[in-house]
Chains A and B, each alone.
Chain A
């Protein structure tokens, strides 16, 4: 019942926060959000799962209850964790608490609604990462969109309506494609349940029937592509990425933190759970186009980041680039490849969170995010600058920070993959992203942080207060801790991805 408690407490916290007067809402939300944070750390400490939850593994904190029957198909309340989902749960709770604290400075209207929506979104995110029944999972998956829609649409920048609608419609259409594809698979498979382990076992093991005139193989391929695109929009992969910069630019910084830090990981998590776990042979057959999508996402995203003048757009496009590594690692189907991809989800969540948060702190002080509007911020905001520089180097994959671990695992895993033809070439080309990312981040830092102080918006700039810098420092510590000791998460990740691997390589 521990996961139910976690969800209930978080959801209740959202309700209570909604009723708290605006001036106390931020503090209250922060205190409330510590409860799921502690809960997730407790889950981590007492984690006793083994293997992959979908492939004969021992699911940790498993809890199931019948919910309803739809046309002979059993729908359950079914939650549990394994080594893939637990790190994402911890990521969610850590980032939510820090995002709430960072919102104290950034949000100054309708606070109780804002914080309630953040906590509500946390509830749904935790649901996405813990649900093991498809319909239950889908309810959470769709429910995440609601708070995010309002968070962008109400508290966002000048074009917030456009960005919010674009985000909502785009991801919703993608969800529709994915939903239909998956349901078609379930209907074709010899199962009478939406339980993900059961469906996975059926799809991996047994022959499925045709559906609506499609042969089984064609059905698998069509469903795979539909789900890949459906989840890929969320990741996002090129060319389905254009909602992301708009959403980020308009979203307030704390929301960007959660959008980049956790919401994008829903896409890669779902790809891992559905496409790559349930349809491994189809994935292997499509390995070359998938790897091409990964490589294009890495390099195209990085080149777009180089062209941007808005700090937030730079970080937004760099997310496209970083998530490309995740796709590359997944298609490698090796321990370090798939494990590294999962680790990279957490690492990128923390690092992009840190970047958006520090850009938010600078924006709050300067009221601009344009690279050309400022220089020499290091002189006035030394601590923020120091952390931003550290975070940027984390993004560039500086060793002993989490990003390097994630990327290196992916590279080692994908270089020798036997599932992916021409694996060394794909890997080497994708790795060139580490040069481009250094280029645009170093350039942006040189222009904004260093040199003589100048600010075109003429605001008086002071060092950021502790409540702004403390969340940054905590995130930085987490990033370094995971970089020095990746096995904190990577140990359980390796255990959980082992059962879904195929082919050879490291």
Chain B
């Protein structure tokens, strides 16, 4: 198991680059070539290599769940709290995704940050390094506490990087909002973590002592746990919902999605890495990680599916009318994570993981492509100021187009296969007897249409037609460090879907569904049998009551493809000309509502500014007037009344000392006499 011995390096290498960059930022800002980019690139590339090695080991059947550090030793019944490493197919896959995207984003940053002469680069690379380390730490976490710890740390990095341009007014505000909204979700998560410990005495993910395994045993009556007066499954559902709070915050699901569009104030490579490909995925990944727990809880699953389907549709509609390229991508990100939630809620564990992977590639690609456009446009992000960039930036255009085709779900690009599988899972389980899943499926299906539309509206406005401004006529060139990551991700966005072509497999019997195989087995280690998709399938059937109908994957696939093409065609019809018009005005009031994001932000601002803050001021008035007022009143009528107090305030230090000593002595004497000490 040599690879597993080196696995801690995956986390420690980026952490070292963080440390180097911080040290440089404090003492010698100019000592690092490229402002700290090179240590970062070396570290993330190292993590990528070790991750590859780990993946090979896992492919060969290797699995491990081991304690690497005891944070707090256990005494008696009180559990020990540990950092543990869980390496299995799911975490190995996620390690590859995160370390690959992180490496590419570091390279891209050379073009986006260094070549643009940004100041504060060591601080930037320190943030990226700490983020990468924390995210990778989250991925390999072997228990809920460690997952929470890194979940919070990635939130910190997100805060620091969104607010990177702290001298302006917008980014610090967006950073605050991002941390606060996700913290609201994390509150529920933390209550859930405490609840899991109190219920199961352990928060481990893998093995017979793990909390999903104990939960299953408790439901069959083989184990007993504290359920605080609730029915066993009800109490588990409460815990499941609590943990879900963190997921909804981090993965920007309704109603805690509002922070993500604002987070676009951060540098674009940060948006690509943190707010599209990885950190936002942390929520979804957490559900997948403890799917053995959620698969026991039909109520929670239904809620996950519903939230996911609704968010997919809801966010897609807002993406229809945005002017800034990054805003379109932000709402699209929220929408796509909705699909993953839908997949998980609908029992499509593999499908959701698959979409998580393809989305990481194509959305990182789209954000980096947008970054390339933004460099070219001298940091103007308004699509209505662009146009015609296709001829001037062919590499960016071709790769961006590949990402867009994947996002819209056009065959054979990656997103088609994964989104299609998510919808297929929702459909077959819905037809198997769950109207809620069917409703969620319906929303997901309509969202496909909108996705096709906003994606191609974005492509057409940015790259096609005639340039609409001087900036777009003479764009700034971009270097290899921008193009190379785009090409790598472009290839992945095109081909990653071939890993798991369900309809093709059904039709032809080949190629194998690699991802299904990857996630299905325990590698011959029974301790990991509880973490396989096979096991999850059994749990879903036995406990969640999920059943499927026999249904070909081909027809549903054609339906969603047709809708995607319809949406794309609609965009083409409206925006394909040399000089497209803004059709959004025709939507009338609907446009205003969409453009203002259904007033969700206003509602949250109202909640803080018009409810919480006045409440706190009222409490302050109460505290000053009533609570402290009572204290002052009491003291002024007491022995220490104001006038007497003034008389003894002579200002002479020795007087005070005498007074204090006398007081103390008197106190002891009074009690002594009362107690009869001197009798």
Contact residues of A with B, CB < 8 Å? 70-73, 139, 142, 145-146, 149-150, 154, 161, 165-166, 169-170, 172, 176, 179-180, 183, 187, 238-239, 241-243, 300, 303-304, 306-308, 334-336, 376, 378-379, 383, 393, 396, 398-400, 404-405, 408-409, 411-413, 415-416, 424, 427-428, 431-432, 434-435, 438-439, 442-443, 445-446, 449-453, 485-487, 490-491, 494-495, 498, 504-506
Contacts and interface: CB of A to CB of B under 8 A. Distances in A.
Indicate the member of A150, A161, A243, A393 with the most B CB atoms within 10 Å: A393
B677 A435 contact: no
A504 B78 CA distance: 10
A428 B191 contact: yes
Given A70-B672, A393-B156, A506-B77, A170 B631 contact: yes
Contacts of A427: 191, 194
Interface string B641-679: 000010001000100110010011001000110111111
Interface residues of B, number: 74
Contact of B191 (A172, A431, A486): A431
A101 B175 CA distance: 34
Contact of B71 (A179, A307, A486): A486
Given A70-B672, A183-B674, A242-B627, 17 more contacts: A70-B677, A71-B672, A183-B671, A300-B619, A307-B613, A307-B620, A376-B166, A376-B167, A404-B149, A408-B145, A411-B194, A415-B191, A434-B183, A443-B176, A446-B176, A485-B71, A486-B72
B172 interface: yes
B613 to A, nearest CB: 7
Contacts of A187: 675
Contacts of B167: 376, 378-379, 450-453
Interface string B141-179: 000010011101100100000010011110111011001
A451 B75 contact: no
B153 A399 contact: yes
B518 interface: no
28 contacts: A161-B649, A165-B645, A166-B631, A170-B631, A183-B675, A238-B627, A241-B627, A242-B623, A243-B631, A306-B613, A306-B616, A307-B619, A376-B166, A379-B167, A399-B149, A399-B153, A400-B153, A415-B194, A415-B197, A431-B190, A438-B183, A442-B176, A443-B176, A450-B167, A451-B172, A487-B71, A491-B73, A494-B78
A506 B78 CA distance: 5
A399 B152 contact: yes
Contacts of B411: none
A73 B656 CA distance: 31
B411 to A, nearest CB: 44
A164 B616 CA distance: 27
A412 B198 contact: yes
A93 to B, nearest CB: 25
A335 B198 contact: no
Contact of A335 (B75, B608, B656, B657): B75
Interface of B: 26, 70-73, 75-79, 145, 148-150, 152-153, 156, 163, 166-169, 171-173, 175-176, 179-180, 183-184, 187, 190-191, 193-195, 197-199, 201, 226, 228, 608, 612-613, 615-617, 619-620, 623, 627-628, 631, 635, 640, 645, 649, 653, 656-657, 660, 663-664, 667, 671-672, 674-679
Nearest to A491: B73
B172 to A, nearest CB: 4
Given A70-B672, A169-B635, A398-B153, A145 B660 contact: yes
B78 A304 contact: no
B197 A412 contact: yes
Contacts of B156: 393, 398
A176 to B, nearest CB: 6
Nearest to B197: A412
Contacts of B653: 150, 154
A149 B664 CA distance: 15
A383 B25 CA distance: 10
A180 B674 CA distance: 10
A169 B198 contact: no
A25 B19 CA distance: 37
Contacts of A400: 149, 153
A248 to B, nearest CB: 14
B247 to A, nearest CB: 17
B249 to A, nearest CB: 11
Contact of A506 (B198, B613, B664): B198
Contacts of B166: 376, 378-379, 449-451
Contact of B617 (A300, A307, A379, A450): A307
Given A187-B675, A434-B183, A416 B613 contact: no
B656 A442 contact: no
Contacts of B78: 334-336, 413, 494, 506
A150 B628 contact: no
Contacts of B649: 161, 165
Given A304-B616, A451-B167, A71 B678 contact: yes
A21 B29 CA distance: 41
Contact of A71 (B153, B193, B677): B677
A435 B187 contact: yes
Contacts of A408: 145, 190, 194
B677 A73 contact: yes
Contacts of B645: 165
A416 B198 CA distance: 5
A487 B81 CA distance: 11
A505 B198 contact: yes
A335 B148 CA distance: 22
Nearest to A399: B149
Contact of A432 (B148, B187, B613, B628): B187
Contacts of A409: 72
B21 to A, nearest CB: 13
A21 B316 CA distance: 73
B72 A487 contact: yes
Contact of B179 (A180, A307, A442): A442
A172 B663 CA distance: 10
Nearest to B623: A304
A180 B670 CA distance: 10
A442 B672 contact: no
**5 smallest beta-carbon distances between A and B, as pairs:** A71-B677, A416-B198, A450-B172, A307-B620, A399-B149
A379 B168 CA distance: 11
Contacts of B620: 304, 307-308
Contacts of B608: 439
Nearest to A469: B26
Chain A CB within 10 A, most for which of B153, B180, B675: B675
Contacts of B153: 398-400
Contacts of A450: 163, 166-167, 171-172
The residue in B145, B168, B171, B616 that gathers the most chain A C-beta atoms within 10 A of its C-beta is B616
Contact of A303 (B172, B616, B631): B616
Nearest to A473: B26
Contacts of A451: 166-169, 172
A429 B73 CA distance: 27
A176 B674 CA distance: 14
